[in-house]
Amino acid sequence: MQSLDEPPPGLDYLLEVELVHDVLEVRSSWRNGARPTAAEKCEAVIHYAEYDAHLDLRR
């Protein structure tokens, strides 16, 4: 059995489900409650995973 302290082989970084939900909630709130498309959700989560920061939508 694989230890839960280490990510699965080939995965350097994992986001907890709760954190992903938070990223998407913040993204929606910054857009006045607008629901993101699947592509926008992916962009927000990938950005957070790469930069440990929310995607600034004011650009």
Nearest to 47 by CA among 32, 9, 30: 30
Tokens 């059995």 correspond to: 1
Structure tokens at 26: 């913040």
Flag whether pLDDT at 8 surpasses 60: yes
pLDDT, one tens digit per residue, over 29-55 is: 999 999 999 999 999 999 999 999 999
State how far the alpha carbon of 13 is from the alpha carbons of 25, 33, 51, 52, 59, in Å. 21, 29, 12, 11, 27
Q: What is the pTM of this model?
A: 0.75
Residue 3 pLDDT grade (very low, low, confident, very high; cuts 50, 70, 90): low
CA torsion angle 43 44 49 51 (round to 10): 100
